[in-house]
Chain A
Amino acid sequence: MKRRKFDLAATPGKAAAGVDDRFAVATPLRKLLNKVFPDHWSFLLGEIALFSFVVLLLTGVFLTFFFEPAMTEVVYDGSYAPLQGTPMSAAYASSLDISFDVRGGLVMRQMHHWAALLFMAAIVVHMLRIFFTGAFRKPRETNWIIGSLLFWVGFLAGFTGYSLPDDGLSGTGLRIASAIMLSIPVIGSWVTSSIFGGEFPGTIIISRFFIAHVLLIPGLLVALISVHLGLVFTQKHTQWPGPGRTNNNVVGERMFPRYALKQGGFFMVVFGVIALMGGLFQINPIWLFGPYEAWVVSAASQPDWYVMFLDGSTRLMPAWEISIPLGDGYVIPPLFWPTVVLPGILVGLSTMYPFLEARQRKDYRSHNLLERPRDAPARTAVGAMAVAFYIVLTLSGANDVIADKFQISLNAMTWAGRIGLLVAPPLAYYVTYRLCLGLQQHDREVLAHGVETGIIRRMPDGRFVEVHQPLSASNGHADGHGQLDYVGWVVPKKMNRLGALGPAIRGFFYPIEKPVEAPVSPGHPPVEARPEREEVGSGESRH
């Protein structure tokens, strides 16, 4: 019997043709795989958030297998001795079991928590990149709004997750959350009692937060992330200005294979960093906090870092209570302003910023080229102002830890925060604005006069001048100055950066190429090293 010859090389092609015959995917897939992404390290920050979200889903699913979202009272009899025999909620007992009795449970819990912190941190860092480069401008305002909403939905995801173990620390946080809801005028008490199913803490809140944390909020996050990425695909990625890059093209790498491979590798790196942190750094040691009881509280009770700015605003808020003589008397507690009004203003300002800026600059064109921070000093300065505001609030959220560990009076910390909140943002605005103008001016100077060579020349009359290497051929100017337009991209500042060549030595962590050894021919002495460069004197001109 004659055996048919099996052609291995033709198999993938055949298989692909078979798939295409049935599903007709070649045309759309070709478009997708040939999609071009510009390459810059700062475009990868959003991916950190995306990949840590994937890790969150994976570790979160593992945790749900063992977590019991109930406030039924049980008596702990697991393997953590210092809590044995203590009455506690089933949620807390199962969290302890995950930490001590489920194989790999503690590292999964810690990875989940670190991934959550990383998710929020990457969102903020990515958002700063988008802001400072002007990537939110038309046509990408919608994606900016979705991104800001992702922060707030992530905030909710984090808070509900933080509350689930029902330990002493998270219960304190939940108590504060209920107080914040209660402080809302008119509807406060109704909101609180409908969320908690009555008075705090009730018996239902953990189950409700559980379903919000594992179904509703992740569903919302997945939907928002999908739209976010879909819009990046259809609107195309922004790029830096530079040679060959215009507002109407995209210069970069194709989706397949390079970009996809890089992204796959980057996912592994993100996963690895989270796993390392989950294995090396202890986070949220719930066994020390004990079960939540209304009378238990600890010094240095803080929320996770992305909520800390609200804690800080609460700590800085003076005790201004507004009494309204209506009926039996009505009081707006001071808590209302820093925890309900302030986040409301922040959501409004941040989502509306693209429109505010377009209106202010009277710029309603589409922008696919990014702006360097120095080229939009007003925006950069506003961003620095927001960052300063946020940092002062976040530090104030930890002001008791700072006061204790650095031996500063807590009262001094509070006043430093209050004054800093008013002084630091305008100061940051001014300093950043001047820095931007200075950097821009230096770029323009190099374009006009050339690169500083470090050669100092003495003129016949005794003056000293530095020789500049012009960037372009002189066009009639006696001093060799050419005319170069300012395009908002990197200008060479050193002699060896001239020209289109990359850095002289290749390699990121260490040089990957060694300079070629000089050949030694027989009968000749080995080539000597080049003599050290001499200091340039003021005698002969080398111009």
Chain B
Amino acid sequence: MTSDNDRRRGLLARLRERPAARSRGRRRLGAAVRLIAALMLAGGAYTVFAPGAQAQDNPQLTGAAAEGKALFDVSCVTCHGRNAQGVEGRGPSLIGVGAASVEFQVSSGRMPLARQEAQAHRKPPVFTDEQTRQLAQYIQELGGGPVVPEGDDLREDGNVAAGGELFRINCSQCHAFGGGGGALSSGKFAPSLHPATDRQIYAAMLSGPQNMPVFGDNQLRPEQKADIIAYIQETLKHDQDPGGFNLGRYGPSTEGLAIFLVGIVALVFASLWIAGKS
């Protein structure tokens, strides 16, 4: 039983309670041996794993990643620095952001950036899908990170009703009920979801671009992500607006504008007309 108790207690406790019978000399010798062993272990591990001097210039990249590196060194290196390590005051390090982040930023045209400002805007993409994949592969092989699943249709079997509920809980605070986007502080904003593809929405949830929080797979499971994408793509984008012209879905602010610009203007003209008939 005592040995069990010993085992249960922590390592430090056991070390502290070693019987004081051993001489000081033996203890010092033991400590020296342990130190040397640890140093040898660390040094050995370093020699095994550390890349050689020439390997620094030629990391083991697959073909696509090498193509991506070529593109990177032409278009991205100014701000993100050599080997995507980032440049102070210009662009962040891309080590560990993963292919998902590259795919979102490059395929939506946000990167390369037009200018330094509060937040990047969506533009026509500069790179083709193939080039985007190569860039993503390069960044992925540099530091790993989240990856968007294969395929263009990421909402298979998505449940629109469940997706709507998740959307209203997680997304509408910033992107608004209609998915049209909204303002954040100091010029930042949540963009409209209407031009986004399935893969871009998925990549955004995984990587949390710009001011968006990350919705990792432990926060929203992949099937929940599919539900949300289904709701955005099938309900918000394809809602036929049963009530008529939707006034931009900006809520009561444009409705208030409409009642003055249409209702009051029409009726003031009507009253001018009626009063003129005398």
| Residue ranges of A at the interface with B (Cβ–Cβ < 8 Å) | 39-45, 47-48, 81-86, 99-100, 106, 110, 114, 117-118, 121-122, 125, 168-169, 253, 258, 262, 265-266, 269-270, 273-274, 277, 279-285, 288-290, 293, 295-306, 308, 394, 397-398, 400-401, 403-405, 407-412, 508-509
Contact = CB atoms under 8 A, between A and B. Distances in A.
A412 B168 CA distance: 28
Contacts of A82: 160-161, 164, 231, 234-235
Nearest to A506: B276
B182 interface: yes
A290 B263 contact: no
A290 B176 contact: no
Interface in B151-194: 160-161, 164-165, 168-169, 172-178, 180-187, 189-190
A284 B244 CA distance: 11
Given A86-B161, A281-B245, A288-B177, A299 B186 contact: no
B258 interface: yes
B277 interface: yes
A394 B260 CA distance: 13
B259 interface: yes
Contact of B267 (A81, A99, A270): A270
Given A168-B168, A273-B270, A394-B256, 7 more contacts: A41-B272, A106-B243, A253-B278, A262-B277, A281-B244, A288-B177, A298-B177
Given A39-B275, A82-B231, A281 B251 contact: no
A83 B251 contact: no
B118 A409 contact: yes
Contacts of B254: 401
Contacts of B266: 273
Interface of chain B: mostly helix, strand, loop or mixed: helix
Secondary structure of the A contact surface, majority rule: helix
B242 interface: yes
A282 B243 contact: yes
B214 interface: no
B263 A405 contact: no
Given A296-B169, A298-B172, A285 B249 contact: yes
B278 to A, nearest CB: 5
Contacts of A509: 273
B246 interface: yes
27 contacts: A41-B268, A45-B268, A48-B264, A48-B267, A86-B161, A110-B244, A118-B259, A122-B264, A169-B177, A265-B274, A270-B267, A270-B270, A273-B267, A277-B262, A281-B243, A282-B243, A283-B255, A285-B241, A293-B168, A296-B168, A296-B169, A298-B182, A300-B253, A305-B252, A308-B252, A400-B182, A409-B186
Nearest to A262: B274
Contact of B242 (A100, A168, A273, A508): A100
A299 B181 contact: yes
A1 to B, nearest CB: 52
A289 B276 CA distance: 45
A209 to B, nearest CB: 18
A508 B272 contact: yes
A85 B168 contact: no
B43 to A, nearest CB: 55
B239 interface: yes
A116 to B, nearest CB: 9
A117 B276 CA distance: 27
A404 B181 contact: yes
B252 A41 contact: no
